[in-house]
Every structure is written in structure tokens, then in C-alpha cells.
DNA sequence: TTACTTTAATCAATCGTTTGATTAACTTTG
DNA sequence: CAAAGTTAATCAAACGATTGATTAAAGTAA
């Protein structure tokens, strides 16, 4: 490996590390509440480095999202095109994948819906909406297929089902001060998330939607 | 009415008006994003009046919550103590009242869960949690009563049901950029909220939980 | 050297807050 | 009654502190 490549890698790692730290700080304090001085100090780099790497505070902020948007694409897709399995089996798969993938990336999820809430930066919000909509569309397709096949009831409220799946997860993840005493364990603990929350949320969602959707 | 009382009333109205404006601006921009200059300008008062009335920006912020906390108390209570009606009937009443009361106060809801998310101001967060927990506890009581009576299944996940009810509503209200295209109408339009969202959310929640809870 | 990083010092702008002066309404005093 | 005093409300101006951003110099590796 050439020195250049080592440098590139180190540079990328450093940028990535700064992005990780910034993601956390932004999610804790909000865009305006997180000063560049705090972010740089937490990351252990000089303040000017943020502008050197990312141009501006907003550039840093946007980069956090761009990094994730690429890795988020097509996660939950290509489920609707398979005709060999039932719509309900697809739903179960969706819940599995969703519960697995999305309960992680805790900080980013918080940041994501924080940014979607206040719709400054209209272009970013639009990009994020499109990103999220891809998964929503897939879920929409599965539900409508289940109705058409006669597998699900004909009078189910498709948009509301989607809102329930996403909303329940968001509520738990983004409001640990409520959900931790509610569930009886610490939602912010990664170990608890893995061993208790993930199974619980998957199991509950399957039972809930099974009861609601099925004939 | 004496002059003093007139003065007091006018003063209260003005403070209340400033609080209304501040509530909206804070909910749109966040605590740090909303400058005192913007708030005072939107309210049409001199900047110094905010400090004159509320001591500080934080004082103003806290006053917004104190005002609501008083009016939020005991809204959904005293439902669990009535033995003459079934647990399911209580659930329906709860959903009705919740859908009615909470879909309003749009700005405050946003602000509330924004503040609960970032837990600065620990004492405020604790107060807000206690406030919300009162309603949660009531719901918890109803669900457990239904289980004990044999009206509901024995294996229902009580905390998750609660998270679903609150989470679904929050998702729709706090993420209009997602929920509006999802539902097919403008969530931010008060008229749409009244004529379409309220009935839809009530009806869906009843059907969803009916299917999940009942034997 | 040459090109890329990193640093401390510094910038103008904006932040929340405070000040002193002014107004207007009411109360007290003579 | 009228004059003087008192009070709360309001304002423009300015305060010190902090913000995001820039600079020029020093450091580093080829």
C-alpha cells in the first residue's frame, strides 16, 4: 500500500471519526446548540479543521446525512417483487429487518427526525423524506398486495399501519426518559437494546399487526 | 372592575400572547435557534420586555411549560376507578379523549417531545416526564384491569401498547413532511386535522387495539 | 522545495442581557 | 381641586460574551 493510500485512509478515518463525534453532539444538543468549538474539542481536533474538511458548520452537518443516505439505500427493498412468499411473510421479514437495522444508529435516528421536524434546509429535508419514503413505499406495496390477495382485510388503514410501525419505534428510541421507566429497563444501554428491546419490539409488532391485518 | 384588575388582566393577556408566540417560534426553531430578538419581533414587543416579564430566555421557556402543565393535569384521569363499564369501553374513551385533546396543542406537543429528547434542563425534563406519566399510568391501569377481568388477552405487551398509541400520534404530528404525503392530506392544516385526521386516528386506534387486545 | 495539515490568533456578527431615560396611569399630599 | 410623588411599562442603545469563520504562520512528509 502506497503512502498516499495510507494518507487517504488516515484522512478518511479522521473525517469519519469527526463525523461520528459530530453526529452524537448534534443529536444531543441540536444544530444550533452544538457549537463548532464543542464539536472540535470533543473530537480532539482544532476548530479550524472542521472548516478545512467540511467548509462550514452546515457542510459538516450535511455530510453526516450524506454519509448515511448512501448506506441506507435499498435496505428494505426488493421484498415486494418476490411472488413466492405470502404478504404476511414479507411483513414479518420487513419487521425483522426494520427492527434490526433501525434500532441501531440511535444517534442518527434522533438527528434525522429532529431535522425532519423543523423544516429548515428544505433541500435536505426533501432528500431525507425521499430516502425514508423508499422504505415506506416498499411497505405500502406489501400491504396492498396482501389486500389484493385476500390475505389481509380489505378495510385496513395502510398509511396508519405505516405510521404505527415507524412511530412506535421512534417514540421508544427518541424519548428514553419516557420509554425506559415504561419498559422497565434502560433504553440507552446498547446491551439492553440488543438483548431486550430488539426482540420485544419485533415480537410485539408481529403480534399487533397480525391481529389487525389478518382475516 | 377596578383599574388594578383591568391592568392585571391586560398584563396577563399580553404575557399570555407573548407565551403563545414564543411557543410557536420555539417549536419551529428549537430553543437555541429561536433568538430573543426574533421572538420579541414576532410578538411585536420590545426585546427588553422578555427579560422584564420572564427574567431570562430560559425563564420564558420554562413559563411556556408551566402554563400548560397546570392545564394538562387530570385530563385523562378518573377513568380507571369506574367499575360499571368494561375495560374496553374505557380504552375507547381514552382514545377518544386522547385523540381530541392531544392532536390539538400542535406546537406544544412538538416542543414537548423536542425537550424530552435532548435532556438538558434535567429538572424540567423530570417534571414533564411526571406530567406525561400520569396519563400513562392511567392507561396502564385500564389495560391491566382488562387482563385481570379476562376481557383482554393475558399475553399482551402493556408498555408496547402505550408506546404505540403515543408514538403513532407523535409520528404523524411531529413529522408532517412524512405524514402528509403518506396520509394524502396536509397535516399542518387545522381544518384537515379536525375533519380528517382526528376521526381517522381515533377509528384506526380503536380497530388496531381491539384486534390486538381482545380474546 | 512543494504540497498538504495543523495550529493559535483574530475577525465581524450575533447572542442574551442590562441600562438609563421616558411615558403614562394612579396615588398621595397640600 | 391641583401639584407632587410613585409606580409599572416600554423603549433605544449599548454591554460583554460567544458564535462561525478566516488568517498567516508553523509543522509534516514527499
The enclosing domain of B175 has a CATH number of 1.10.357.10
Q: Are residues B53 and B77 located together in one domain of the fold?
A: no
Same domain, B44 and B119: no
pLDDT of residue B101: 78
Q: Which bases of strand C sit closer than 7 A to a protein CB?
A: 4-9, 14-20, 25-27
Q: Which of B169, B161, B119, B118 is nearest to B140 (CA)?
A: B161
**Distance from the first to the final alpha carbon of chain B:** 61
Pair A156, A116 in one domain: yes
Residues 92-121 of A with CB under 8 A from B: 110, 113-114, 116-120
pLDDT of residue A115: 93
| One domain for residues B84 and B170 | yes
- What's the domain range around B19? 3-67
For residues A124 and A65, is the Cβ–Cβ distance under 8 A? yes
d(CA B110, CA B97): 19
Query: Could you identify the residue written with the cell 400542535?
Result: B106
Convert the pLDDT of each residue in A181-209 to its tens digit: 999 999 999 999 999 999 999 999 999 99
Q: Closest Cα partner for A197 from B136, B117, A189, A108?
A: A189
Residues 6+ apart with CB under 8 A from A77: A134, A135, A138
Give the distance from residue A143's alpha carbon to the nearest chain B alpha carbon, in angstroms: 14
As a whole number of angstroms, the distance between CA A186 and CA B191 comes to: 40
SS3 of B152, please?
A: strand
User: Are residues A106 and A54 part of one domain?
Assistant: no
- Whether residues A134 and A194 fall in one domain: yes
Same domain, B24 and B117: no
The pLDDT tens digits along chain B (215 residues) read: 223 333 334 456 889 999 999 999 999 999 999 999 999 999 999 999 999 999 999 999 999 999 988 777 656 666 666 778 999 999 999 999 988 876 778 899 999 999 998 888 999 999 999 999 988 999 999 999 999 999 999 999 999 999 999 999 999 999 999 999 999 999 999 999 999 999 999 999 999 999 999 97
Query: Which residue in the set B167, B169, B182 is minimally distant from A159, CB to CB?
Result: B182
**Chain A stretch 130-189, residues whose beta carbon is closer than 8 A to a beta carbon of chain B:** 132-133, 136, 157, 159-160, 162-164, 166-172, 174-175, 177-179, 181-184
Rounded to whole angstroms, the Cα distance separating B84 from B62 reads 41
Summarize pLDDT for A40-50 with one digit per residue, the tens: 999 999 999 99
Tell me if chain B has a CB within 8 Å of the CB of A29.
Answer: yes
Is the minimum CB–CB distance between B215 and chain A shorter than 8 Å? no
d(CA B133, CA B26): 24
Q: Is there a single domain that holds both residue A97 and residue A62?
A: no
Selected residue with higher pLDDT from B169 and A215: B169
A26 closest CA partner among A111, A109, A104: A111
Please indicate, yes or no, whether residues B110 and B184 belong to a single structural domain of this protein. yes
* Nearest alpha-carbon partner for B101 in B138, B136, B75, B130: B75
Angle at CA A137, nearest 5°, toward A134 and A141? 140
Domain boundary among A68, A84, A100: A68
Domain boundary among A24, A42, A68: A68
For A140-178, the pLDDT digits (tens) are 999 999 999 999 999 999 999 999 999 999 999 999 999
b/e per residue A9-29 (b: at least 16 CB within 10 A): eeeeeebeebbebbbbbbbbb
Q: Do B30 and B95 belong to one domain?
A: no
Torsions phi, psi for A118 (to 5 deg): -80, 115
Nucleic strand C near CB of residue A52 (< 7 Å): yes
Domain count, chain A: 2
The overall average pLDDT reported for chain A is: 89
d(CA A169, CA A163): 10
Q: How far apart are the first and last CA of chain A?
A: 61
Residue B62 sits in a domain of what CATH number? 1.10.10.60
Of the three residues B46, B67, B88, the one that is the final residue of a domain is B67
Q: Of A34, A14, A10, A32, which is closest to residue A23 (Cα–Cα)? A: A34
**Range list of H helices, A73-196:** 87-103, 106-117, 122-148, 158-174, 176-183, 190-192
Same domain, B105 and B160: yes
Q: Are residues A100 and A199 in the same domain?
A: yes
Amino acid at each position: 500500500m502506497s503512502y498516499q493510500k495510507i494518507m487517504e485512509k488516515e484522512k478518511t478515518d479522521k473525517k469519519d471519526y469527526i463525523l461520528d463525534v459530530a453526529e452524537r453532539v448534534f443529536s444531543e444538543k441540536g444544530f444550533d446548540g452544538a457549537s463548532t468549538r464543542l464539536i472540535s474539542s470533543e473530537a480532539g481536533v482544532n476548530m479550524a479543521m472542521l472548516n478545512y474538511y467540511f467548509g462550514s458548520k452546515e457542510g459538516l452537518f450535511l455530510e453526516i446525512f450524506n454519509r448515511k443516505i448512501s448506506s441506507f439505500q435499498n435496505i428494505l427493498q426488493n421484498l415486494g417483487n418476490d411472488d413466492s412468499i405470502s404478504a404476511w411473510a414479507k411483513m414479518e421479514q420487513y419487521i425483522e429487518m426494520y427492527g434490526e437495522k433501525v434500532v441501531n444508529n440511535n444517534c442518527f435516528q434522533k438527528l434525522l427526525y429532529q431535522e425532519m421536524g423543523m423544516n429548515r434546509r428544505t433541500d435536505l429535508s426533501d432528500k431525507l423524506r425521499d430516502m425514508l419514503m423508499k422504505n415506506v413505499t416498499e411497505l405500502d406495496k406489501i400491504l396492498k398486495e396482501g389486500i389484493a390477495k385476500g390475505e389481509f382485510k380489505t378495510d385496513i388503514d395502510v398509511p396508519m399501519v405505516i405510521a404505527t410501525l415507524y412511530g412506535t419505534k421512534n417514540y421508544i428510541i427518541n424519548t428514553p426518559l419516557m420509554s425506559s421507566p415504561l419498559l422497565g429497563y434502560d433504553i440507552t444501554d446498547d446491551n439492553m437494546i440488543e438483548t431486550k428491546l430488539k426482540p420485544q419490539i419485533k415480537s410485539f409488532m408481529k403480534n399487533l399487526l397480525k391481529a389487525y391485518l389478518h382475516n
